[in-house]
Chain A
């Protein structure tokens, strides 16, 4: 309850209000796409192809005469579900690895740190492309690729938090009182380390939306006719001279969503006063 009240407080700051409103709108689109979309996203109407935005089709139609707005509303579903699932997996896996590395130390910590440092200097898109080369294209592959591409970030962040907390007196006291490893990690370390990781996860979700769109733009993501913002732009490039709106609107949808996520994340960081803890990355 207190978390909800806190979020409500953030949403009442000017920056938080605008970004929260946009985010709620995008999430509603993703959740209720079939009811909100004015048309079926897959129905083709070749005589009405490439029509510019008008009263019947607010964002125009694409090269198959499909309603662009309906496809963008459905695309929110693809983008958000891929990004949130991928980052969710990445956060959980990264927290587990980071907490274990930071808590137990030793050879396990050295191996984890070495791998994290190795992947750290490589851009996420290269890691994702490498993984897609191995596991193939499609929505599931993209989720796994994005999840692994961001794993280093969360592992590193959690490890730094846990290392800092481990030497706190109350943790040492708990250990000396005979508490097991699991008790210390799950009851004391993770609850205190979780806030910066969750915020970093939220900001990474924005990056993941861009990464998903980029991979979709390359033709490596969701296969047609499933609408995805990146793939829509990819097919729009052939129409760039006659129907620029096919590129304009999906890109704007991505930009607006990601900017809203970043602004809200920024407001959260200020409200939680954790900017210094995030900088340890």
Chain B
């Protein structure tokens, strides 16, 4: 198992390198000279040259990349142009908020999604099943930021149960988690339901019924257990999708976090911050996917063995 994890981690290195190149190139592909956006109006050519030298833009591009990558690995992501602070500080301030929101939303999606999907499969073709199916349809089609705004209107403005925005109290997490969660619940519930209905048709399940094992014991002990494989597969593939939902939701709830920071910096063209945020989000998606892979390998020996 340890060998498997180490091998998966090694596989991530080329992926990380590729992503870092794309994110590094971002500043160089932007139309126009990035220096122009930093220079004040009416600056002399000498001032310009000094700035170019300061940012190392007179070096060959490969040298620039190696310098940037070396600093990045050591946690130096440069300075924000507009906010005039080290990007690493900004990320350190915002990351805990995103982590709390993302992990809570993930746990909520998984627990509620599996429960809803399993009950829908067990009570298939009843009103409960149809209710879950409707929820799944809504959860996968309603834009998350609109759902967030509706929640604000109902629970924060009209009922006053939760804060409208911000992240000062723990209760401020409830609405954002629910908002991201509904999309995640829809995804997990759909996969669980389909997988369980598929397993329930297998011969060994029929055999268990014939042997007179009680229905609940079959559904929960055998069918649900076997259905977990595809659920974990989908979760590990789409974990980034749930994390991506957090970007929009942070922005709606005006919560501090990587998503809000990214959107604000994009609108202000503060490229060092954009680079830093994208890098962190990419790492989050990579680690999330890795976590899913490890879970899968723990559940299925065939995957563990296949890697060796």
Contact = CB atoms under 8 A, between A and B. Distances in A.
Interface in B140-155: 140-146, 149-150, 152-153
Contacts of A247: 146, 149-150, 153
A88 to B, nearest CB: 21
B78 to A, nearest CB: 15
Given A122-B282, A240-B153, A262-B140, A134 B145 contact: no
Main secondary structure of the interface of B (DSSP, over half): helix
Interface stretch (A43-51, A172-180, A186-194, A214-222): A214-222
A31 B25 CA distance: 40
Main secondary structure of the interface of A (DSSP, over half): helix
A125 interface: yes
Interface stretch (B26-34, B45-53, B214-222, B295-303): B26-34
Nearest to A125: B244
Interface in B109-150: 137-138, 140-146, 149-150
B157 A130 contact: no
Interface in A162-200: none
Nearest to B265: A133
Between B31, B149, B150, the greatest number of chain A beta carbons within 10 A of the residue's beta carbon is seen for: B149
A210 interface: yes
Between B141, B149, B267, the greatest number of chain A beta carbons within 10 A of the residue's beta carbon is seen for: B141
Contact of B143 (A118, A120, A137, A251): A251
Interface in A218-234: 218-220, 233
A96 to B, nearest CB: 22
A218 B271 CA distance: 17
Between A121, A122, A219, A240, the greatest number of chain B beta carbons within 10 A of the residue's beta carbon is seen for: A121
A214 B149 CA distance: 13
B31 A254 contact: no
B141 A129 contact: no
B91 interface: no
B143 A219 contact: no
A213 B143 contact: yes
A206 B141 contact: yes
Contacts of B15: 118
A121 B152 CA distance: 31
Contact of A121 (B23, B142, B149, B285): B285
Contacts of B150: 247-248, 251
Interface string B269-307: 001001000100110011001000000000000000000
B90 interface: no
Given A132-B266, A218-B251, A237 B140 contact: no
B263 interface: yes
A126 B278 contact: yes
B182 interface: no
B267 A219 contact: yes
B86 interface: no
Contact of B285 (A123, A129, A241, A251): A123
Contacts of A137: 266-267
A28 interface: no
B237 interface: yes
A42 interface: no
A258 interface: yes
A254 B229 CA distance: 34
A244 interface: yes
B241 interface: yes
Contact of A133 (B26, B138, B285): B26
A129 B266 contact: yes
A244 B153 contact: yes
Contact of B266 (A124, A206, A218, A258): A218
A122 B266 contact: no
A122 B240 contact: yes
Given A218-B263, A219-B267, A247-B149, A125 B248 contact: yes
Between A125, A135, A241, A244, the greatest number of chain B beta carbons within 10 A of the residue's beta carbon is seen for: A125
Interface string A236-265: 010011001001100100110011001100
A135 B269 CA distance: 11
Contacts of B243: 123
Q: Across the A-B interface, give the 6 residue pairs with the lowest CB-CB distance, nearest first.
A: A123-B244, A251-B146, A258-B141, A210-B143, A259-B141, A123-B241
Interface of B: 15, 18-19, 22-23, 25-26, 29-31, 137-138, 140-146, 149-150, 152-153, 157, 237, 239-241, 243-245, 247-248, 251-252, 262-263, 266-267, 271, 274, 278, 281-282, 285-286, 289
Given A122-B285, A129-B247, A136-B30, 18 more contacts: A121-B237, A121-B239, A122-B240, A130-B23, A134-B25, A214-B248, A218-B263, A218-B267, A220-B266, A220-B267, A240-B149, A247-B146, A251-B149, A255-B138, A255-B146, A258-B141, A258-B143, A262-B137
8 contacts: A118-B15, A132-B266, A135-B29, A213-B143, A218-B251, A219-B267, A220-B267, A233-B145
Interface of A: 118, 120-126, 129-130, 132-137, 206, 210, 213-214, 217-220, 233, 237, 240-241, 244, 247-248, 251, 254-255, 258-259, 262-263
